[in-house]
Amino acid sequence: MTDTKTRILDTALRLFNRHGERNVTTNHIAGELGISPGNLYYHYRNKTAIVAALFDRYQAHLRTLLTVPAGPLTWEDKMRYFEGILESMWEGRFLHRDLAHFLHQDPALREHYKAFVEDSLARGLEIYRRLRDSGLIEADDEELRALLVNTWVLAASWSGFTHGLNPDIADDETLDRRLLRQGIYQIICLEAPFLRGEALRHLDAMKREYRLDETALDRLFGAAGRVRPE
């Protein structure tokens, strides 16, 4: 990939994440880069091609994350997966916010996304099985599959959920990232009934690491309808 192509993708990602893909044009991206629209079109024929390239980069990152190291897994490995999921949610938040729109708009992207989900779920199931083999989770295969699907749906939809409740969150990137951390807290709560051994002993510490304070939750839900953390 040329330097210009990398700069186009980096700039588009930053603008999409901050303003939303629908509010950013190729002229905006070119202007931010200080290049002509024609130069941009030389590398990417339209905005759909930029979104597709960003998705390819996103899925490559997540596939690298969803690898299983040799030997038994530990509580620290679980934390590493949580941090990796958080980072992927943050880097690809514009995709998560408006995923249905992208999949309906681009049939080719939809097919790639289906294959990506299938591969990611297979990798995730292997991770859960290794966590079970390491004594950190107790669940049969059916329960693991259900837990995995619930975790995937939560991680993929959390950014869209938070921005649907409060679209102004995008203007405060610090709060935006903190709210994504609450998404990891929700995943931890999904896993909690199945945790055993070292993972169960560290459950409270994991919750404290990702749980939001009430001020941030007020911004999300509103003081009257706040869902209080445990």
Q: Write out the residue limits of the CATH 1.10.10.60 domain(s) in the chain.
A: 1-45
Fold of 47-221: Tetracycline Repressor; domain 2 (1.10.357)
Is the pTM of the predicted complex or chain greater than 0.75? Answer: yes
Residues of the chain with CATH 1.10.357.10: 47-221
**Following CA atoms 98, 99, 103, 106 in sequence, which dihedral angle do they give, to the nearest 10 degrees?**
50
- Residue 3 has a CB neighbour count (10 Å cut-off) of 7
The hierarchical CATH code for the domain 1-45 is 1.10.10.60
DSSP reduced 3-state for 43: helix
Tokens standing for residue 68: 């299983």
pLDDT digits (tens, 9 = 90+) for 12-43: 999 999 888 999 999 999 999 999 999 999 99
Q: What are 69-79's pLDDT values in tens digits?
A: 888 898 888 88
Nearest-angstrom CA–CA distance, 167 and 86 = 20
